[in-house]
């Protein structure tokens, strides 16, 4: 099936980068994950979970470390399980302590990162894990793309089925409950999807910047969107455009793709902030 994609690119892309297998794979991966990141991101921003998703991304370090301690070669599953455990722990902890949410998250961030680095740095071995910090999308395999496509389809279905429930829950959870929405189920399922998508993509984008991919497109879209539809649509557009342009630019600049993509996302954000100011001024007068 992936051959079809390779051949199509050969036909339609006349540039040098379009002939390399790693670029073809990377581009496909970008096209698959950026819309999903945008969708999840809209809800992350609306629910003010940006710090939480940052901690979630960083928990990958602890996940990898625990995987190695348990003798598991492929850290994907330990990372996913670690992220889900983290999400549950944060929720439980929130009920226990009087401390504010960002303090609780700060503590978890410190713990996850410190635990990961302590274990991984034994006998000076941390260098081989730096790939997880900045990511390497050019090394993506067709198998990984298949996994990402699978989870993307699941997120789309979830967003179709639970989209309205997610909105009501985010607006007011008591209101949602009074309309027989299982808000706990909605919140938990959303967090689990976040955890799985983030962990499956962390090898490609890197722990340090994965949160930007989640938050920036939605934040940019929010600068001028006036309805849920335009909010979602523009988040997807920003996400895909900065993903593709970032990847291609990184080829020519010889830079890390993830970070280059984020730079383009930041550019989108600044542009939209400017645009938002101009339009809101125009509307007021």
What's the closest the beta carbon of residue 153 comes to other proteins, in angstroms? 16
Among 21, 131, 175, 275, binds other proteins (CB under 8 A): 175
Question: How big is the CA angle at 56 (ends 113 and 171), to the nearest 5 degrees?
Answer: 145
Coil, strand or helix at 150:
helix
| C-alpha span between 146 and 131 (Å, rounded) | 21
Q: Which two tokens stand for residue 221?
A: 């879209």
Exposure pattern of 222-249 as b/e (b: 16+ CB <10 Å)? Answer: bbbbeeeeebbebbbbbbbbbbbbbbbb
Using alpha carbons only, how large is the chain's radius of gyration in Å? 20
Q: Please, what sign has the CA dihedral across residues 50, 56, 57, 62?
A: positive
What's the closest the beta carbon of residue 167 comes to other proteins, in angstroms? 4
Q: How far apart are the first and last CA of the chain?
A: 55
Which lies closer to other proteins via its Cβ, residue 146 or residue 274? Answer: 274
Nearest residue to 84 via CA among 62, 101, 102: 62
Among positions 223-282, residues that touch other proteins (CB under 8 A) are: 225-232
Mark the segment that binds other proteins (CB under 8 A) among 61-69, 84-92, 128-136, 162-170.
Answer: 162-170
Are the CB atoms for 64 and 120 separated by under 8 Å? yes
What's the closest the beta carbon of residue 52 comes to other proteins, in angstroms? 16
Which lies closer to other proteins via its Cβ, residue 103 or residue 230? Answer: 230
| C-alpha span between 221 and 210 (Å, rounded) | 18
Mark the segment that binds other proteins (CB under 8 A) among 29-37, 98-106, 118-126, 221-229.
Answer: 221-229
How many residues make up the chain in this entry?
A: 285
Mark the segment that binds other proteins (CB under 8 A) among 26-34, 90-98, 153-161, 259-267.
Answer: 153-161
| C-alpha span between 271 and 223 (Å, rounded) | 9
Q: What is the pattern of x (binds other proteins, CB under 8 A) and - over residues 20-59?
A: ----------------------x---x-x-----------
Mark the segment that binds other proteins (CB under 8 A) among 56-64, 65-73, 116-124, 158-166.
Answer: 158-166
Which lies closer to other proteins via its Cβ, residue 72 or residue 161? Answer: 161
171, HSE (Cβ side, Cα atoms, 13 Å): 13
98 scored as a contact of other proteins (CB under 8 A): no
| C-alpha span between 101 and 98 (Å, rounded) | 9
163 scored as a contact of other proteins (CB under 8 A): yes
Among positions 176-205, residues that touch other proteins (CB under 8 A) are: 177-179
What's the closest the beta carbon of residue 215 comes to other proteins, in angstroms? 15
Binding site for other proteins (CB under 8 A): 42, 46, 48, 159-161, 163-164, 167-168, 170-175, 177-179, 221-222, 225-232
């Amino acid at each position: 099936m992936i051959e079809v994609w390779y051949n199509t690119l050969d036909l339609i892309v006349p540039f040098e980068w379009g002939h390399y297998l790693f670029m073809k794979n990377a581009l496909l991966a970008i096209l698959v994950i950026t819309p999903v990141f945008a969708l999840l991101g809209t809800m992350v921003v609306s629910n003010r979970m940006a710090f939480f998703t940052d901690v979630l991304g960083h928990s990958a370090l602890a996940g990898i470390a625990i995987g190695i301690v348990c003798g598991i070669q492929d850290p994907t599953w330990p990372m996913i399980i670690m992220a889900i455990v983290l999400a549950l722990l944060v929720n439980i902890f929130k009920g226990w302590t009087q401390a504010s949410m960002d303090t609780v998250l700060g503590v978890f961030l410190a713990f996850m990162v410190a635990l990961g680095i302590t274990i991984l740095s034994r006998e000076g071995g941390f260098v081989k894990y730096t790939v997880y910090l900045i990511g390497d999308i050019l090394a993506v395999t067709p198998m990984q793309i298949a996994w990402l496509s699978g989870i993307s389809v699941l997120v789309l279905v979830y967003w179709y089925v639970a989209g309205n429930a997610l909105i009501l829950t985010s607006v007011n959870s008591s209101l949602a409950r009074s309309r027989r929405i299982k808000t706990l189920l909605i919140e938990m399922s959303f967090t689990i999807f976040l955890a799985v998508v983030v962990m499956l993509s962390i090898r490609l984008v890197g722990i340090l910047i994965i949160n930007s991919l989640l938050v920036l497109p939605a934040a940019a879209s929010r600068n001028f969107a006036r309805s849920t539809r335009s909010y979602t649509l523009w988040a997807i557009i920003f996400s895909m455009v900065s993903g593709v342009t970032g990847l291609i630019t990184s080829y020519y600049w010889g830079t890390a793709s993830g970070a280059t993509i984020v730079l383009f996302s930041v550019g989108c954000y600044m542009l939209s902030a400017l645009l938002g100011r101009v339009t809101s001024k125009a509307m007021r007068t």
